Amino acid sequence: LSRLENKLQGKEPYSPAARFLWDHFGNREFRPVVEDDFSDYVKNHLYDDLSQDIVIHREVEISPLTRSDILITIFNS
């Protein structure tokens, strides 16, 4: 996640990627993207950053009253 943070903030060697998480409505009006778009962005980053031997699930119900925003399963080759 620290590499994602560096990407979003534009720390070397990245250019700022946080702009991809905002919708532009003209006249300097911006709104954050919807949660599904943000989750997809994070999911894609994790696939690229970790490996292809993972499965990422969003909004997983762990138990009746417990949910996880992101659950990552890593497979050992």
What global pTM score does this model have?
0.76
Mean pLDDT of the chain: 88
Residue 42 structural domain: 2-74
- Residue 15 CA, chain-centre distance (Å), reads 17
Number of domains in the chain: 1
Beta strands in 1-77 (DSSP E): 22-24, 30-32, 54-63, 66-74
Mean pLDDT value of segment 47-63: 85
Is pLDDT above 70 for 33? yes
| Distance separating alpha carbons of residues 59 and 43, to the nearest angstrom | 12
In Å, what is the CA distance from 44 to each residue of 14, 27, 52? 16, 30, 11
